[in-house]
C-alpha cells in the first residue's frame, strides 16, 4: 500500500522478551520469525524491533557495540536477512531501532578513546571538569537513570552520558560521526528494512556551551534543557531523509523525540525531514474523558498543521503497562506533576478495572486517524509485573537509583505463549526466562486466548481487522457533541467510536449498531469503562 506509514498499525517487538528459539531464556530472531504467523493473524502492518545489535546489555541493547551486526544471543546477520524476507512475504514491514545519541562503552570508538587515540576522543563529548583540580563534573546535567551525566576517564577528564555510564554520548558536531551513521542507515536499508525508529532523537546536539540545566522541576519534560531539542539536530535528519528518499518514499523514520510541546515536535515532521514521531500523551493521561479528548485534539491539530500522521502510543518498553496504569486512581506515571511514586507503589492496583479500561483504550487508539503502535503483550492484556524479585531486576534505573526506583523491567517480562506454567512456551525447553514470569499467566497465554472468543487477543484481532475495513485512512474525525461529559465519542464517516470513562452507563445513539465492543454483549447501553464501535443501521 502506498504511504503505508500514514495509517499503519505497528507492533513493537522487544526482542529479548518476545520469543526464544535457541533455549537460552532470551528472545531471538528465529523466535520472532517463528511467530510471524501470529503477527500476520493479528493483522498488523509492520513490526518495530528494538535494538538487535551486539551489546553488553547495560541498557537492554540500547548500548550498542557494533551498529552493523546482530547480537550473538539473538542470532546472525543471515537470520536477520531471513526474518526480513519472510516478514515481507507476509506483507509485514520491518522497522528497526537506530541509537545515534550514544554507543556502548564497548564500541571500538570508545575503546580507542580509552587507549588514548586523539581522533576517537573527538567522537565523544569530553571535557575537563570544574573545581580547582577539575575534580567535579563539567556541569550539573543528570543522567536519565539517576546520578550525574558525567563520568571520569582515566586521564581525569570527563565524558558525557545522558543515560548509563556504559552509554557514552557521541559528538554530533564531528563530521565523522555523521558520515558513520549515514553509512549505517544505508547498510540496513540495503538489507531491505523499511524504516528506523530513532532513539533519543531530541538529544544528538547539545548546546555548544554545555551550560548548567538548573534545578530539575517536577514537570521536567516540558522544560527546555540544553541537552535536548537543540536547533542543530534538524539538519541531521534532513540529510537522513534524503538517504531514505533515495531508496523509496516508502522507507521511513519514526522519532522518539521528547520535547516540551507539540509545536516543538512539529519541527521534526516536515516533507524534507522525519515522517512520523511518537505522541506519548496517552501514556501520561488519566482515565478521564476530558484528558483523553485533549490528547486527541492536541495531536490532531498538530498533525493537520504539519501534514504528518498522528502517531498514537499507549505503551512501550519504557512505560508501565496500561492495565496497571488504569488500575490505579492516580492518573499515570512519571511526568505528571501530581505523580507521586510512593503513593503509586502503596496503592493496590485493581487489575479487573485496569484490564477493562485497557480494552476500551485499545478501541479508542485503533479508531483514531493516523498510525497506532501496539506494545507486545498489550494485545494479551498483560499487567506490569511489579513484584519481580530484586535480584532478577536488570534495568539500569534500578541499579543507578540505589535500588529505590524499580525501573522498567516490569513491562519487559517475556511473553506467555502457551502451557500452564513458566516459561509458558517462551523458550522451547525448561530454561527459565531472563525475567521471571508470574505463575498465574497461564490464563493469559496467546494459546489460551486464541481459544476464547471474548479474550483480549481476539478483541485486538477484530479491531485491527475492522479498522482496515471500516476506516479508510483519509476519513477525518469529528467529535460527537451533546453527550454526557464522561464520554469520548467521535465519528469518522459512517462510523462512530464511543468510550465511557465515567461511572454511569450511557445510552448509545439511535440509528447505530454496535459492530465491536470492548466487552461482550454491549447493545444499546455502554457500561462504565467500556468502548464500542458503531456503524449506521441499514
Ligand atoms: C530510549 C529507549 C530506552 C533507552 C534510552 C537510552 O528512551 O526507549 O529504552 O533506555 O532511549 O537509549
In 3D space, the residue among 5, 95, 109 whose CA is nearest the CA of residue 51 turns out to be 95
pLDDT for residue 127 is more than 80: yes
pLDDT for residue 102 is more than 60: yes
Q: Is the peptide bond before 432 cis (omega within 30 degrees of 0)?
A: no
β pairing state of 150-152 and 195-198: unpaired
DSSP 517: E
Q: What is the pLDDT of residues 411-434, one digit of tens each?
A: 999 999 999 999 999 999 888 999
What CATH number is associated with residue 92? 3.20.20.80
User: Which residues pair with residue 525 across a beta bridge?
Assistant: 507
Cα 447 from Cα 174, distance rounded (Å)? 51
Cα 185 from Cα 195, distance rounded (Å)? 9
Atom 9, ligand 1: residue with shortest CA distance: 318
Q: Examine the residue annotation and report whether 199 is marked as an active-site residue of this protein.
A: yes
pLDDT at 402: 83
CB within 8 Å of 342: residues ≥ 6 apart:
none
Domain check: are 453 and 496 in the same one? no
Q: What is the pLDDT of residues 311-338, one digit of tens each?
A: 999 999 999 999 999 998 776 555 454 5
Q: Does residue 466 belong to any structural domain of this protein?
A: no
Atom 4, ligand 1: residue with shortest CA distance: 62
Residues 526, 527, 530, CA angle at the centre, nearest 5°?
85
Residues 290, 293, 299, CA angle at the centre, nearest 5°?
140
What does the CA dihedral 45, 51, 57, 59 come to, rounded to 10 degrees?
Answer: -80
Written as nine digits, the cell of 131 is 573545581
Of the residues 408, 427, 458, the one at which a domain ends: 458
Q: Does residue 168 belong to any structural domain of this protein?
A: no
Written as nine digits, the cell of 485 is 461529559
pLDDT for residue 22 is more than 60: yes
Confidence bin at 114 (pLDDT 50/70/90): very high
Domain check: are 113 and 88 in the same one? no
User: Which residues pair with residue 517 across a beta bridge?
Assistant: 532
Q: What is the pLDDT of residues 48-91, one digit of tens each?
A: 999 999 999 999 999 999 999 999 999 999 999 999 999 999 99
Cα 366 from Cα 12, distance rounded (Å)? 15
Look-up of cell digits 570508538: 109
Of the residues 458, 488, 504, the one at which a domain ends: 458
Domain check: are 413 and 442 in the same one? yes
Look-up of cell digits 469529528: 478
Cα 368 from Cα 491, distance rounded (Å)? 10
Give the nearest ligand 1 atom to 316 CA.
8
Q: Does residue 9 belong to any structural domain of this protein?
A: yes
Structural domain of 117: 108-160
Catalytic residue among 24, 176, 180, 250: 250
Written as nine digits, the cell of 409 is 523491567
Q: How far is the CA of 62 from the centre of ligand 1 (A)?
A: 6
Domain check: are 224 and 237 in the same one? yes
pTM score, whole prediction: 0.97
pLDDT at 220: 62
Atom 3, ligand 1: residue with shortest CA distance: 318
pLDDT for residue 216 is more than 80: no
Which of 200-209, 222-231, 337-346 has the weakest average pLDDT? 337-346
Q: What is the pLDDT of residues 437-484, one digit of tens each?
A: 999 999 999 999 999 999 999 999 999 999 999 999 889 999 999 999
- Best substitution site from 62, 227, 254 to test ligand 1's pocket, by max atoms within 8 Å of Cβ? 62
CB 17 within 8 A of CB 421: no
User: Which residues pair with residue 516 across a beta bridge?
Assistant: 533
Arithmetic mean of pLDDT over the chain:
94
pLDDT at 338: 53
Q: How far is the CA of 52 from the centre of ligand 1 (A)?
A: 14
Cα 431 from Cα 31, distance rounded (Å)? 15
Q: Does residue 463 belong to any structural domain of this protein?
A: no
CB within 8 Å of 166: residues ≥ 6 apart:
56, 58, 59, 63, 104, 105, 106, 396
Q: How far is the CA of 98 from the centre of ligand 1 (A)?
A: 11
Cα 301 from Cα 278, distance rounded (Å)? 15
Confidence bin at 219 (pLDDT 50/70/90): low
Which of 256-265, 379-388, 484-493 has the weakest average pLDDT? 256-265
Q: Examine the residue annotation and report whether 250 is marked as an active-site residue of this protein.
A: yes
Question: Across the beta sheet with 512-517, what order do the strands follow?
Answer: 478-479, 487-492, 495-500, 530-536, 512-517
CB 158 within 8 A of CB 128: yes
Q: How many CB atoms lie within 10 A of CB 95?
A: 25
Residue 122, phi then psi, degrees to nearest 5: -75, -10
Of the residues 430, 458, 486, the one at which a domain ends: 458
Domain check: are 268 and 287 in the same one? yes
Domain check: are 147 and 210 in the same one? no
DSSP string, 115-141: TT-HHHHTTB-EE--BSTTS-B-SS--
Q: How many CB atoms lie within 10 A of CB 359?
A: 25
Written as nine digits, the cell of 74 is 539473538
DSSP 350: -
**Angle subtended by helix axes 233-247 and 175-190, to nearest 10:** 30
What is the average pLDDT across 166-183?
Answer: 98
Q: Does residue 165 belong to any structural domain of this protein?
A: no
Domain check: are 340 and 219 in the same one? yes
pLDDT for residue 343 is more than 80: no
**Can you tell me whether residue 247 is helix, strand or coil?**
helix
Domain check: are 312 and 216 in the same one? yes
Q: What is the pLDDT of residues 482-530, one digit of tens each?
A: 999 999 999 999 999 999 999 999 999 999 999 999 999 999 999 999 9
Give the nearest ligand 1 atom to 317 CA.
9
Q: Does residue 169 belong to any structural domain of this protein?
A: no
Look-up of cell digits 498488523: 44
Domain check: are 283 and 298 in the same one? yes
Atom 12, ligand 1: residue with shortest CA distance: 62
The domain total for the chain is: 3
Give the nearest ligand 1 atom to 145 CA.
10
Q: Does residue 296 belong to any structural domain of this protein?
A: yes
Q: Does residue 468 belong to any structural domain of this protein?
A: no
CB 378 within 8 A of CB 358: yes
Q: How many CB atoms lie within 10 A of CB 154?
A: 8
pLDDT for residue 156 is more than 70: yes
pLDDT at 335: 47
Domain check: are 183 and 37 in the same one? yes
- Ligand 1 proximal residues by C-beta, below 6 Å: 59, 62, 99, 163, 199-200, 256, 317-318
Share of the chain above pLDDT 70, in %: 96
Domain check: are 243 and 324 in the same one? yes
CB 315 within 8 A of CB 322: yes
**Can you tell me whether residue 516 is helix, strand or coil?**
strand
What CATH number is associated with residue 132? 3.90.400.10
CB 154 within 8 A of CB 56: no
Cα 437 from Cα 434, distance rounded (Å)? 9
pLDDT for residue 160 is more than 80: yes
Domain check: are 253 and 313 in the same one? yes
Amino acid at each position: 500500500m502506498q504511504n503505508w506509514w500514514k495509517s499503519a498499525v505497528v507492533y513493537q517487538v522487544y526482542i529479548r522478551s518476545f520469543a526464544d528459539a535457541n533455549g537460552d531464556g532470551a528472545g531471538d530472531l528465529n523466535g520472532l520469525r517463528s511467530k510471524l504467523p501470529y503477527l500476520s493473524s493479528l493483522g498488523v502492518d509492520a513490526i518495530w524491533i528494538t535494538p538487535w545489535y551486539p551489546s553488553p546489555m547495560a541498557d537492554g541493547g540500547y548500548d550498542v557495540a557494533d551498529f552493523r551486526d546482530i547480537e550473538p544471543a539473538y542470532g546472525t546477520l543471515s537470520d536477520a536477512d531471513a526474518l526480513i524476507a519472510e516478514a515481507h512475504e507476509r506483507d509485514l514491514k520491518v522497522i528497526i531501532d537506530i541509537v545515534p545519541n550514544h554507543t556502548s562503552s564497548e564500541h571500538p570508538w570508545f575503546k580507542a578513546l580509552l587507549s588514548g587515540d586523539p581522533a576517537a576522543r573527538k567522537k565523544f563529548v569530553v571535557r575537563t571538569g570544574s573545581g580547582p583540580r577539575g575534580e567535579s563534573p563539567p556541569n550539573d546535567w543528570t543522567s536519565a537513570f539517576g546520578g550525574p551525566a558525567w563520568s571520569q576517564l582515566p586521564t581525569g577528564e570527563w565524558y558525557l552520558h545522558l543515560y548509563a555510564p556504559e552509554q557514552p554520548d557521541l559528538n554530533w558536531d564531528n563530521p565523522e560521526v555523521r558520515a558513520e551513521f549515514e553509512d549505517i542507515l544505508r547498510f540496513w536499508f540495503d538489507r531491505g528494512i523499511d524504516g528506523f525508529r530513532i532513539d533519543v532523537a531530541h538529544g544528538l546536539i547539545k548546546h555548544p556551551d554545555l551550560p548548567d540545566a538548573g534545578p530539575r522541576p517536577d514537570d521536567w519534560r516540558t522544560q527546555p534543557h540544553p541537552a535536548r531539542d537543540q536547533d542543530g539536530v534538524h539538519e541531521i535528519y534532513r540529510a537522513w531523509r534524503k538517504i531514505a528518499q533515495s531508496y523509496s518514499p516508502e522507507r521511513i523514520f519514526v522519532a522518539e523525540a521528547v520535547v516540551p510541546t507539540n509545536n516543538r515536535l512539529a519541527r521534526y515532521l516536515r516533507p524534507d525531514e522525519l515522517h512520523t514521531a511518537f505522541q506519548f500523551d496517552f501514556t501520561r493521561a488519566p482515565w478521564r474523558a476530558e484528558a483523553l479528548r485533549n490528547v486527541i485534539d492536541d495531536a490532531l491539530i498538530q498533525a493537520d498543521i504539519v501534514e504528518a500522521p498522528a502517531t498514537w502510543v499507549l505503551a512501550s518498553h519504557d512505560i508501565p503497562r496500561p492495565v496497571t496504569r488504569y488500575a490505579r486512581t492516580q492518573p499515570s506515571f512519571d511526568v505528571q506533576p501530581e505523580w507521586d511514586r510512593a503513593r503509586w507503589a502503596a496503592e493496590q492496583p485493581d487489575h479487573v478495572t485496569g484490564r477493562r479500561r485497557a480494552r476500551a483504550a485499545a478501541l479508542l487508539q485503533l479508531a483514531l486517524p493516523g498510525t497506532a503502535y501496539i506494545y507486545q503483550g498489550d494485545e494479551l492484556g498483560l499487567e506490569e509485573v511489579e513484584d519481580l524479585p530484586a535480584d532478577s531486576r536488570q534495568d539500569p534505573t534500578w541499579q543507578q537509583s540505589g535500588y529505590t526506583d524499580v525501573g522498567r523491567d516490569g513491562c519487559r517480562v517475556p511473553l506467555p505463549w502457551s502451557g500452564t506454567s513458566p516459561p509458558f512456551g517462551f523458550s522451547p525447553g525448561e530454561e527459565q526466562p531472563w525475567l521471571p514470569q508470574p505463575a498465574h499467566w497461564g490464563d493469559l497465554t496467546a494459546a489460551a486466548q486464541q481459544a476464547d472468543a471474548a479474550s483480549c487477543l481476539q478483541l485486538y484481532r477484530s479491531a485491527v481487522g475492522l479498522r482496515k475495513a471500516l476506516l479508510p485512512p483519509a476519513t477525518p474525525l469529528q467529535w460527537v457533541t451533546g453527550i454526557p461529559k464522561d464520554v469520548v465519542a467521535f465519528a469518522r464517516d459512517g462510523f462512530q467510536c464511543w468510550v465511557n470513562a465515567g461511572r454511569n452507563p450511557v445510552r448509545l445513539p439511535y440509528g447505530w449498531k454496535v459492530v465491536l465492543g470492548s466487552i461482550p454483549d454491549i447493545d444499546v447501553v455502554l457500561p462504565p469503562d467500556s468502548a464500542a464501535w458503531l456503524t449506521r443501521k441499514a
